[in-house]
Amino acid sequence: MGCDGGTIPKRHELVKGPRKVEKVDKNAELVAQWYYCTLSQEKLSRPIVACELGRLYNKDAVIEFLLDKSSDKVLMEAASHIKSIKNVIELNLTENPAWTGDKGNTKGDKYDDIQSARFICPVVGLEMNGRHRFCFLRSCGCVFSERALKEIKTEACHKCGIPFKENDVIVLNGTKEDVEVLKKRMEERRQKSKLEKKSKKSKAAETVVKSEAIAESPISQVSTEKEATVIKSGEKRSIAFCKSTAANESVSSSSGKESKNASGAPKRSIANIEKSEAYKSIFTSHSSAKRSKEESSNWITHTAYYF
């Protein structure tokens, strides 16, 4: 049996076999990773940030993602580990002087070099287009090629001079194995930061308690010292008073004896002196100050002479 042109169909045209796995174009994948934001799928534009797993983002897209707290928010796997703006680091990139970008009008009559990149390694000069492995430093955010870090081994940044450690080097857009290693490092860092915060809080609480104890202790010591001094001074005063009274008694006894000897009769006290009626009439307890019931009024003032 033939078709319109007398052709005979073959078996692979009539019988449908298993679908072939579609292979992703490597060039397209590299362009998506190194030229576009992982979160918003827009072209990378300064300021550019990178997470602890080595993925590239636009800083504006990350801020919008963190500020969006609506229920319709789509949680993307690429940004699920980003909890705050501290989890991303702004990159210090070096511009490529040979990159023209979108300045030229591409009409299809001109060859577009896909391998040309906007940024390069400041040490070796390799372009950051995905063909070469690039890294950035967590301490300062400077970006270098892996070749530059291997060839020129230093403990300080080649660009800004800030010291760094091996754990501070993060591979950009690395393989699955690289991402697993970076995940472990990220979890370890976050656990350490939590433990440090807890230890700082406990130390702050201890210092507060110690300061309160120190503030209370000198007062108690001062109070006890004051009480001791008061007791001592009271004892001294009592001793002095006893001595003075004894001296006065001795003096009075001696003077009494002398007066008796001199006059022959003891002196009278003021309380035993008889008072005159004129002196007694000064006080309200005298009979002349009292009023009869007929003379007294029904109401009483604050300073009434009502008896």
Amino acid at 186: M
pLDDT beyond 50 at 220: no
Residue 37 tokens read as: 């934001």
CB 79 within 8 A of CB 66: no
The helix/strand/coil state of 150 is helix
Fold category of 23-101+113-174 in CATH: Herpes Virus-1 (3.30.40)
Report the C-alpha gap between 160 and 146 in whole angstroms: 17
**Tens digit of each residue's pLDDT (9 = 90 or more) over 254-304:** 444 444 444 444 555 555 566 777 777 777 776 766 666 666 655 555 555
Contact of 138 with 186, CB cutoff 8 Å: no
Q: What is the average pLDDT across 224-228?
A: 51
Whole-model pTM: value is: 0.59
Pick from 132, 107, 105, 106: nearest CA to 117: 132
The pLDDT of residue 221 is above 90? no
pLDDT of residue 116: 79
Asked if residue 112 has pLDDT above 90, the reply is no
Q: From residue 137, give the alpha-carbon distance in Å to each of 32, 79, 143, 144, 152.
A: 23, 20, 7, 9, 15
